Amino acid sequence: MKPAPFTYHRAPSLDAALTVLATHGAQAKPLAGGQSLVPMMNLRLAQPAHLVDLNDLLEWQRIWEEPEHLVLGFLNRHHQVAQSERVKALCPLMAQMVQTIGHEPIRHRGTLGGSLANADPAAQWVLLAITLEAEIGLRSTQGERWLPAREFFLAAMTTAARADELLVAIRVPKARAGEVHAYEMFNRRHGDYALAAVALTLELHDGVVRTLRLGVAGGTPVPQGLHALAPAFCAQVPDAAWRARLAQAVRDAFTPDDDPEVPATYRRDLVHTLTLRALASATSSLQKVHA
């Protein structure tokens, strides 16, 4: 199919793009990589009257540092992020996760801003933001604001961004020295969205767990950040018994919707297995770090 008629705007600057969004509101949609929006337009699931092309705004492909955070502009392509030495050093979980997005052509074209704004609950960027308790930067002609990821993602394909706002950046905490990470996903076909996925970071101090971040995706309107589990599992040695107890706690806390094709019990079992794998990978990395 072909998209419904629309007016095309190629924005020469961010201010110009924001002006179009302010003028036309919900009738306008920003276009970056187009890997989600264009197929939806072709199927007429999305019918914007105005399309605002952002691809000339190359200054938003920057990646920069703040004292405790790494900030990435919305126009960074998945491939650019995966190959960035700064990202590999300061947020290795991000580098690992974006390498699993779709296929090579999608990673070379798709952008982090588009994925976050689309808010598909199975998307790697959405799970990453929830797991790391990232902040999402929004800008309009009225100014700028930052929202915690848990407040930005409201439901599947639904965010707290206003119609006149553009998602301009994501801010994530820098990995601590000695912190390790892991990401495990399961899909039936390479390149498809995951039926279930687990992401985590783990930090050790004097042989016991000091910090733990954990997020789970699959069959929920928004990925679940299981940060409430951390206090019960910190200040302990991450041995096999600890991993087994944590994996069971994750399974118990995970609340996917029931689906005739993918029952909730099946997803919980997947998450249990993926959590065990992720914890085994992370603790193996810890042994190397502290060897």
9-58 pLDDT tens trace: 999 999 999 999 999 999 999 999 999 999 999 999 999 999 999 999 99
Please, are residues 151 and 119 in contact by the beta-carbon 8 Å criterion? no
Q: Is the pTM of this model over 0.85?
A: yes
Please, are residues 84 and 63 in contact by the beta-carbon 8 Å criterion? yes
Token pair for residue 90? 């300061």
93-123 pLDDT tens trace: 999 999 999 888 999 999 999 999 999 999 9
Task: Give the confidence band of 210 by pLDDT, cuts at 50, 70, 90.
Answer: very high
222 pLDDT more than 80: yes
From CA 25, how far away is CA 236, in angstroms rounded?
51
Compute the residue count for the chain.
291
- Report the chain's C-alpha Rg in angstroms: 19
More confident call, 167 vs 2: 167
Considering 169-173, 178-182, 191-195, the range whose residues carry the highest mean pLDDT is 169-173
| Beta-bridge partner residues of 170 | 72, 136
Domains of the chain: 7-53 (3.30.43.10), 58-173 (3.30.465.10), 180-289 (3.30.390.50)
**Chain CA centroid to CA 66, Å:** 20
Q: Is 57 exposed, middle or buried (0-12, 13-18, 19+ CB in 10 A)?
A: buried
